[in-house]
């Protein structure tokens, strides 16, 4: 029977690990809320239309077929009130905060235009509408409602953090590396920026991260019960009911589910059952939606852009290599910072990521899981490339359809690559150097996001006002943010303090894990050296 001392030694790392996950979750949520409270309304990708689809469900108007959903009059009124320029060059909206319209309420504006978000499944919008009803968001002003729904998105992405860290932990075999790999994605500033917007991408991130976490655990955790594969199927179903990009995860799910099932069963029937049950769950929760599209609409995912007339011949100035270069350059820039940072920064960041991926593929422990999970972003990129190429062929627009945020659903693959680097580096360091490296591993990605935050926010406000006809060199963000956003400065300070507390706790807990798990990391493999001749010979 183990002694009480040995039990304490065994549970202490687990407690530190659990607390580190809690601190990381708080950190991601606090940073996402800082973005949410400081970026202009309707600034996120398709944010106005995401809000419209939530408002429709909250108003019990259902989920129409594609091409049949209008923009609600109340949403069109909020669009008009959002940043309308005042007289004499004033940068304040014409409508004072107290006089702004309700999120859902009487309006003189008619329903018009088209809401193309109904091309997606209603999973995210249903959750957001439930939150809206529970908090009586329809009775709030539209700006207050938008902030509440941004907060819901931030909370959803924060919920992905335990799955991201856990996936890296099982891929590498180290709790410490799991924390470092999970925190490493903060080196992508737009990841938490997107979490501060109203967007269905937020639920896709969490559902896909959960899917990979359960699959990794089914393969690597000898103590995991039979529930892990069904849990992976349920999470994948949620992803399928969120966005079509989840379809690109299917090959990864099949590969990893087969590996896990084979390791858990000695018979073909047992393997089939262990794979079949998750597949049934995934289809029942979200997979049926895509079969429904094929039956009702004749295609997997219809869209307004898909209704355009396709010319038989390409545009006159078509240049394949020009388009390809522009596509990958744009996707890379938008992936890191939504094109707010110099292009050379994005190129250097991509080079670093590719090196990390190369290291992860070269490490035996992470190779299988990393290669399988990398199939997901590769398929996303190829699918987006094909769609963007069709738009370029038809319309001559090389910038349409190329979005870096689509890859965030595969954020686990990036975190595992970062973790693989730590898996190689940490065992080669002495005790003191190792502690300093762990501190740097926490602070460096956090610093990257926090230092780009004021610059990016300043740029987004400048673009916001310029698009409304106010041409100036400074955005005046600091002066008009509190009035425009309607958020007291004290709330910003509270979020910043929460982030600071989480950072300090993370550093302390990571150092604790470093001390407790000194023997958890495998020793680096050293090639046997030739016999050294004795001295004097």
For residues 114 and 465, give the distance between their C-alpha atoms in angstroms, rounded to a whole number. 25
Tens digit of each residue's pLDDT (9 = 90 or more) over 132-175: 999 999 999 999 999 999 999 999 999 999 999 999 999 999 99
What does the pLDDT read at residue 536? 37
The pLDDT of residue 106 is above 60: yes
Rounded alpha-carbon distances, angstroms, from residue 267 to 212, 232, 276: 24, 21, 14
Task: State how far the Cα of 261 lies from the Cα of 219, in Å rounded to an integer.
Answer: 8
Banded pLDDT at 396 (limits 50, 70, 90): confident
Domain ranges of the chain: 8-300+316-516
Residue 530 pLDDT exceeds 50: no
Question: Is residue 397 very low, low, confident or very high in pLDDT (cuts 50, 70, 90)?
Answer: confident
Q: Worst-scoring range by mean pLDDT, 105-119, 331-345, 361-375?
A: 105-119
- pLDDT of 395: 72
More confident residue, 510 or 308: 510
422-460 b/e (C-beta count within 10 Å ≥ 16 → b): bbbbbbeeeeeebeebbbebbeebbebbbebbeebbbbb
pLDDT at res. 86: 46
Is the pLDDT at 317 greater than 50? The verdict is yes
In this model, does residue 309 exceed pLDDT 80?
A: no
Reported confidence tier of residue 222, pLDDT bands at 50, 70, 90: confident
What are the percentages of helix, strand and coil residues in the chain, rounded to 5? 70, 0, 30
SS (H, E, C) 26-66: HHHHHHHHHHHHHCCCCCCCCHHHHHHHHHHHHCCCCCCCC
Whether the Cβ atoms of residue 426 and residue 524 lie closer than 8 Å to each other? no
**Diameter over CA atoms, the chain:** 99
pTM given for the model:
0.91
pLDDT tens by residue, 237-293: 999 999 999 999 999 999 999 999 998 887 888 889 999 999 999 999 999 999 999
> 22: buried, middle or exposed (CB in 10 Å: 19+, 13-18, 0-12)?
middle
d(Cα 242, Cα 483) in Å, to the nearest integer? 35
Q: Which residues pair with 93 in a beta bridge?
A: 85
Helices (H) and strands (E) in the chain, counts: 20, 0
pLDDT at 14 over 90: no
Q: Dihedral of CA 521/415/332/301: which sign? A: positive
Element (H, E) at 77: helix 73-81
| pLDDT reading at 520 higher than 90 | no
- Rounded percentage of the chain residues whose pLDDT exceeds 70: 87
Please tell me the least confidently modeled range out of 66-70, 145-149, 217-221, 433-437.
66-70
Q: What is the mean pLDDT of residues 24-31?
A: 98
Q: How far apart are CA 53 and CA 56, in angstroms?
A: 5
Q: What is the DSSP letter of 521?
A: S
Has residue 508 got a pLDDT over 90?
A: yes
Q: How far is Cα 299 from Cα 297, in angstroms, rounded to an integer?
A: 6
Say what percent of the chain tops pLDDT 90.
Answer: 66
Rounded distance between C-alpha atoms, residue 33 and residue 153, angstroms: 9
Q: What is the pLDDT of residue 315?
A: 63
Please report which confidence band the pLDDT of residue 471 belongs to, taking 50, 70 and 90 as the band edges: low
Nearest to 143 by CA among 520, 481, 492, 500: 481
Q: CA geometry: angle at 34 spanning 32 and 40, to 5°?
A: 100
DSSP string, 428-491: GS-HHHHHHHHHHHHHHHHHHHHHHHHHHHHHHHHHHHHTTT---S---HHHHHHHHH---HHH
Taking phi first (over 0 means left), then psi (-120 to 50 degrees means alpha), and beta for anything else, what does residue 476 get? left
pLDDT at residue 534 greater than cutoff 80: no
Using pLDDT thresholds of 50, 70 and 90, give the confidence band for residue 81.
confident
Range among 162-166, 325-329, 456-460 with highest mean pLDDT value:
162-166
**Mean per-residue pLDDT, 339-355:** 93
Residue 91 — very low, low, confident or very high, per pLDDT cuts 50/70/90?
low
| Mean pLDDT along residues 174-199 | 97
Residue 532: pLDDT band by 50, 70, 90 thresholds?
very low
**Contact status, residue 327 vs residue 402, Cβ threshold 8 Å:** yes
The pLDDT value recorded for residue 88 is 47
Mean pLDDT estimate for the chain = 88
CA distances from 265 to 269, 408, 488 (A): 8, 33, 58
Q: Which two tokens stand for residue 489?
A: 């400065």
Q: How far is CA 330 from CA 111, 214, 386, 444, in A?
A: 34, 33, 15, 25
The whole-angstrom separation of Cα 372 and Cα 276 is: 20
Q: What are phi and psi of 112, to 5 degrees?
A: -160, 180
């Amino acid at each position: 029977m183990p002694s009480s001392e040995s039990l304490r030694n065994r549970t202490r790392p687990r407690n530190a690990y659990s607390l580190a996950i809690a601190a990381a979750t708080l950190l991601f949520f606090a940073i996402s809320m800082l973005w949410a409270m400081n970026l202009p309304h309707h600034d996120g990708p398709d944010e106005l239309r995401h809000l419209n689809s939530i408002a429709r469900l909250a108003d019990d108007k259902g989920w129409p077929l594609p091409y049949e959903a209008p923009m609600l009059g109340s949403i069109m009124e909020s669009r008009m009130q959002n940043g309308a320029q005042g007289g004499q060059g004033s940068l304040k909206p014409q409508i004072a905060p107290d006089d702004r319209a309700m999120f859902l309420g009487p309006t003189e504006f008619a329903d018009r235009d088209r809401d193309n978000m109904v091309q997606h499944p209603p999973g995210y919008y249903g959750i957001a509408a439930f939150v809206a009803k529970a908090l009586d968001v329809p009775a709030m002003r539209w700006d207050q409602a938008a902030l509440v729904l941004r907060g819901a998105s931030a909370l959803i992405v924060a919920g992905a953090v335990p799955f991201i860290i856990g996936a890296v932990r099982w891929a590498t075999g180290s709790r410490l590396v799991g924390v470092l790999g999970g925190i490493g994605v903060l080196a992508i500033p737009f990841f938490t920026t997107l979490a501060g917007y109203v967007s269905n991408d937020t639920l896709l991130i969490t559902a896909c991260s959960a899917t990979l976490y359960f699959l990794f655990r089914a393969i690597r955790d000898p103590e995991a019960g039979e529930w892990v594969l069904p849990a992976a199927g349920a999470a994948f179903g949620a992803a399928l009911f969120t966005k079509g990009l989840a379809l690109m995860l299917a090959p990864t799910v099949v590969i990893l589910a087969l590996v896990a099932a084979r390791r858990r069963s000695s018979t073909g029937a047992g393997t089939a059952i262990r794979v079949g049950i998750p597949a049934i769950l995934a289809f029942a929760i979200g997979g049926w939606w895509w079969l429904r599209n094929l039956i009702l609409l004749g295609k997997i995912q219809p869209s307004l852009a898909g209704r355009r007339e396709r010319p038989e011949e390409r545009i006159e100035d078509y240049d394949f290599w020009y388009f390809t270069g522009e596509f990958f350059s744009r996707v890379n820039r938008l992936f890191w910072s939504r094109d707010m940072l110099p292009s050379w920064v994005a190129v250097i960041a991509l080079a670093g990521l590719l090196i990390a991926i190369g290291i992860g593929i070269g490490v035996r422990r992470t190779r299988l899981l990393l290669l399988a999970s990398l199939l997901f972003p590769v398929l996303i990129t190829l699918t987006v490339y094909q769609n963007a190429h069709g738009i370029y062929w038809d319309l001559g627009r090389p910038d349409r359809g190329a979005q870096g945020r689509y890859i965030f659903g595969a954020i686990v693959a990036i975190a595992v690559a970062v973790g693989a680097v730590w898996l190689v580096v940490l065992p080669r360091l002495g005790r003191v150097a190792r502690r300093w490296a762990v501190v740097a591993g926490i602070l460096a990605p956090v610093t990257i996001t926090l230092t780009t935050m004021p610059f990016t926010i300043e740029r987004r406000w400048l673009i916001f006002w310029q698009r409304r006809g106010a041409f100036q060199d400074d955005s005046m963000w600091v002066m008009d943010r509190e009035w425009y956003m309607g958020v007291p400065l004290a709330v910003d300070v509270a979020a910043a303090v929460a982030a600071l507390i989480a950072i300090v706790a993370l550093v302390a807990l990571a150092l604790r894990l470093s001390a407790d798990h000194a023997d958890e990391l495998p020793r680096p493999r050293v090639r046997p050296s030739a016999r050294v001749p004795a001295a004097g010979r």
